[in-house]
Each structure stands twice: as C-alpha cells, then as structure tokens.
Amino acid sequence: MAHIHSEAVLPMTWCLIWWGAALLMLGVSLFKTRNENPRRIVRTAILAAFAFGVMQINVPVAWGIHLDFMPLIGILSGPYLGFLAAFVVNLFCIMIGHGGVMVAGANTILLGVFEAMLAYWLFTSLRRVIPRVLVRGAVATFVSLVISAFAMVGMLALGAALSPATYLILLIAFVGAAVVESLITAVILHYLSQMGSELVEVK
C-alpha cells in the first residue's frame, strides 16, 4: 500500500542504494527458498497475481483507495516467499506505469521488508499474546503498514526536497488507508480460519 507510485521522485543515488538493498534481500530470500516445496512457490505466485489484481480495484471507502495485501501474503506465504512476491508484484506494476524501474528497489524494500516480512513476524510472534486471528491479523497488518508508511516518507525525505506539509499529508493518507487494509485483512484471515484453512498458521 505504502509505495512510491511514480518514477523520478527519488534521486539516482538513492535509487541505486535502494536497488542494492533490494538485491541483497532478494539474494537472501532466494537462498532461504532454494529448497522450497514447489507447491508453496506455485501458491505464492497465485497470491502475487491476487495482490496485483486487488491493486487494480478502487475500494469505495473514504475517498477511494487501493490495497495491495502484501502483509496478508507475508502472513500466508512466510517472509521469504512474501519478499519474492513483493518483487514480482513490483515488476508487474512497472508494466502498467504504477511505480517505476528506478524506484522498484525502494518499493520492493517497502512492500517486501516493511509489509510482508514484518507482518509475518508480528503475526507469528503475537500468537500467544493475541490468540484471536481476527485481532492479531488486524494488529500485525496495521503496525506493518504504518511502519511502511513512515519508511516511505523517510525514503522520500532522504532523497527529495519536499515540504514537511507534503510528508504530513502523505502520512495521514497512508495511515488512513492502513486502517482500511488492516480491517479487511483481519476479516479475510478470520474468514480463512473459520473455513479451516491451513494457510493462516503457516510455518
């Protein structure tokens, strides 16, 4: 959800730094998933298609927003496959002008690390503290999305000379959307757990 929607708002130096970080994380994720069960890879690929499809839907909540469900994919697929899914979704977004080649590194870090990986980590670590999937899903998603929104604003602040008011407007918009996405994600996770899906408590 919190990602840089267009090319050319970050200077070249920062584009390269974020690309370097993304490639490093990509290497780690590929190493960790080298012996992954092909069934889970296929499942994650289809979840990535789901996330990309969802991004094209304008949800008529508040002023109309779009979601991406990367925290949900992280929770369902695990951190490393979740990171790979974030990279794949970013590549597809480039194809429709939603994002960009040079900002794809920054976007992969935002969606992969701050949303998919962080949400997975929060969802699994809070298992004992918050046993209810509905609440735990909402908390994990909301926290990861808010941190991701702050990270995105931080990335912009490091690279682009925008006014503090602009950063504040972006933060308010993304935190507002985080409320919506975390509630919908919680309802989906609750629905999946009610249906007895083994996806919700992925190892």
Partner 1 sequence: MGLFPDFWLINEYAENGDSPLHRIHPIAKLVTVLAITVLVVITYNLETLVALLLLTFFLCLLTRASPRYFISWLSVPFLFGFSISIMLPFTVPGRALLSVDLLLFKVTLSIEGVMQGLIIILKVVTAALAIFMVVLTTSHFELLYYVQKAFPRTLSVMLLLTFRYVFLVIDEMKRMREAVGARGGSLIRTFFENIKLFGNILGAFLIRTMERAERVYTAMEVRGFDGTIRLLSPHKKFSATDMAFLVSSLSSLSLLLWITTEVEILAI
Query: What residues between 124 and 163 interact with partner 1 by CB under 8 A?
Result: 156, 160, 162-163
Q: Taking CB under 8 A as the rule, which mask of x and - marks residues 22-61 in contact with partner 1?
A: ----x---x--xx-x-xx-xxxxxxxxxx-xxxxxxxxxx
> DSSP characters for 15-61?
HHHHHHHHHHHHHHHHHHTTT--HHHHHHHHHHHHHHHHHHT--B-S
Q: Which one among 1, 88, 111, 149 touches partner 1, defined by CB under 8 A?
A: 88
> DSSP characters for 118-180?
HHHHHHHHTTTT---HHHHHHHHHHHHHHHHHHHHHHHHHHH----HHHHHHHHHHHHHHHHH
Q: Near partner 1 by CB under 8 A, which window of 87-95, 105-113, 120-128, 139-147?
A: 87-95
Residue 10 half-sphere exposure, CB side, CA atoms within 13 Å? Answer: 29
Q: Which one among 11, 126, 150, 171 touches partner 1, defined by CB under 8 A?
A: 11
Q: Which one among 28, 62, 157, 172 touches partner 1, defined by CB under 8 A?
A: 62
Compute the CA torsion angle 201, 44, 114, 96 (nearest 10 deg). -150
Residues in the interface with partner 1 (CB under 8 A) total 76
CB of 122 to partner 1, least distance (A): 19
Q: Which one among 13, 28, 127, 172 touches partner 1, defined by CB under 8 A?
A: 13
The residue among 104 and 128 lying less far from partner 1, judged by its C-beta, is 104
